[in-house]
Amino acid sequence: MAEAERIIGTPDTPDAAGNGRERPDGAAAVGASGTDEPAAAGRPRGKRRIAVLFAVAAFAYALDLISKMIVVAKLEHHPPIEIIGDWLKFEAIRNAGAAFGFGEAFTVIFTMIAAAVIVVIARLARKLYSLPWAIALGLLLGGALGNLTDRIFRAPGVFEGAVVDFIAPKHFAVFNLADSAIVCGGILIVLLSFRGLDPDGTVHKD
């Protein structure tokens, strides 16, 4: 338990209902004291987590956007660039489907899903007190924004645009940095869930 507390920075204080979960800073203290001073102290901490989320999202989005601009300007309509022999190449591909080239016939649907993911993450951010969750959601948000930008602004049209992919490992689908951010964020969320850590900073005592 000490390790989990170190990761998310929450005290080992059971909630008033005794449901086997630790609670974020201020929530348990408010129940004990009947005042709102601890809650006021907890709000800046939540704001810092939100700032981390959007900082990670902005970094992932900017990195994806810049890489695609370079690929379109320097690599599209040119031979692939070998990075590690034929095991890893940079090759410009326009992908109308989902991540890694799946479902090219459902471009509009994938666009709507990406937009819904962004809305859900933005709403969840209001209850965010965990730093690892802030990083994970930031990666998801940045990746979703990166590919959604392509869907909206690239040919053949609004909400039907083809995503620019360029990382081409041997015997694997071509992808981009937005896809990588989404996958990394998803893996981190799975790991956090296995460890019992919730976005609001509570810890399951299993």
DSSP string, 133-158: HHHHHHHHHHHHHHHHHHHHHSTT-T
Q: What is the pLDDT of residues 54-86, one digit of tens each?
A: 999 999 999 999 999 999 999 999 999 999 988
Please check the confidence at residue 115 and state whether its pLDDT lies above 80.
yes
- What local confidence, expressed as pLDDT, does residue 127 receive? 86
Lowest mean pLDDT among 32-41, 60-69, 140-149: 32-41
Tokens of 149: 């930008």
Q: Which residues are CB-contacts of 10 (< 8 A; sequence separation ≥ 6)?
A: 22, 23, 24, 25, 129, 201, 202, 203
Q: Considering the entire predicted model, what is its pTM? A: 0.76
For residue 7, what pLDDT band results from cuts at 50, 70 and 90? very low
165 is annotated as an active-site residue: yes
Please provide the average confidence, as pLDDT, over all residues in the chain.
79
How many CB atoms are closer than 10 A to CB 151?
22
- Residue in this structure with the two tokens 């987590």, named with its chain if needed: 49
Query: Which residue is catalytic, options 25, 64, 165, 200?
Result: 165
Mean pLDDT of 123-134: 90
Query: Which residue is catalytic, options 25, 179, 198, 200?
Result: 179
Please check the confidence at residue 153 and state whether its pLDDT lies above 60.
yes
Q: What is the pLDDT of residues 155-197, one digit of tens each?
A: 888 878 889 999 999 988 899 999 999 999 999 999 999 999 9
- What local confidence, expressed as pLDDT, does residue 101 receive? 53
Contact assessment for residue 27 and residue 15, using Cβ atoms and an 8 Å cutoff: yes
Mean pLDDT of 124-135: 91
What region, left, alpha or beta, does residue 102 occupy, with left being phi > 0 and alpha being psi -120 to 50 degrees?
beta
Helix, strand or coil, per DSSP, at residue 102: coil
Q: Assign 3-state DSSP to the chain and report helix, strand, coil percentages, each to 5.
A: 60, 15, 30
Rounded distance between C-alpha atoms, residue 126 and residue 206, angstroms: 26
Q: What is the pLDDT of residues 87-107, one digit of tens each?
A: 999 999 998 865 555 555 556
Please check the confidence at residue 25 and state whether its pLDDT lies above 60.
no
